[in-house]
Amino acid sequence: MTLGQRVATLRNGTLQQVASPTELFHRPVNLFCAAFIGSPQMNLVEATISDDEARFAGMVIPLPADSPLRSLDRAILGIRPSDLVAPVTAPEFPTISVGVDAVEDLGAHVHVSFGINAPRVATDIGSEEEEAEAFLLDSRTVWTAELPDRYRVAAGDRVELAVRSDRLHAFDIATGLRIGD
């Protein structure tokens, strides 16, 4: 992606999206592209929408006034790991409280992995064997937050993360297609 001005994303030989790397990252056309582009991949969960809030795994995220999610009852919610941030850096955004399962210190930033009590969203990225194996090991959805290198956290800690609700992605549950602009 870093070398191309336009990138074509294929799935089983079928063209999914052709766009600039920035467009692919920020506006994936479907769940496949959302999960395929970005490392770590986008966090996904099925959410119910009511009272202008997205609800999943016991968590509640108030939605911005211009969110396309507000007009729905249910959707797949997508959150990039870089859009889960330390609350002190984004006090205007809603927070979620999570139990840290693993921490990967990469020098410039830290990947914090945690489980949420919601079923995994199928994206057809991994093989059936990998998905079956992952399901047997842990039925929770595993999410990742990408935090600054100075953020100190360890496995077993409970932390608050702010959710950049202005950068949420929404996908149709039945078709996997992007909802909204």
pLDDT of residue 152: 87
Contact 30, 39 (CB under 8 A): no
Q: Tally the domains of the chain.
A: 1
Task: Give domain status of residue 177, yes or no.
Answer: no
The pLDDT tens digits for 80-98 are 999 999 888 888 999 999 9
In a domain, 98, yes or no: yes
Kindly state whether residue 63 falls inside one of the protein's structural domains: yes
The answer to whether residue 178 sits within a structural domain is no
Q: What are phi and psi of 76, to 5 degrees?
A: -85, 125
Question: Does the structure show a pLDDT above 60 at 66?
Answer: yes
Closest CA to 96 of 112, 73, 119: 112
How confident is the prediction for the chain on average, in pLDDT?
89
Tell which residue, 94, 96, 79, 85, has the closest CA to residue 143: 79
Whether residue 127 is predicted with pLDDT greater than 50 in this model: the reply is no
148: in domain? yes
Q: Which domain holds residue 115?
A: 7-171
Residue 166 counted as domain residue = yes
Q: Burial level of 113, CB count in 10 A (0-12/13-18/19+)?
A: middle
The rounded distance, in Å, linking the Cα atoms of 181 and 51 is: 22
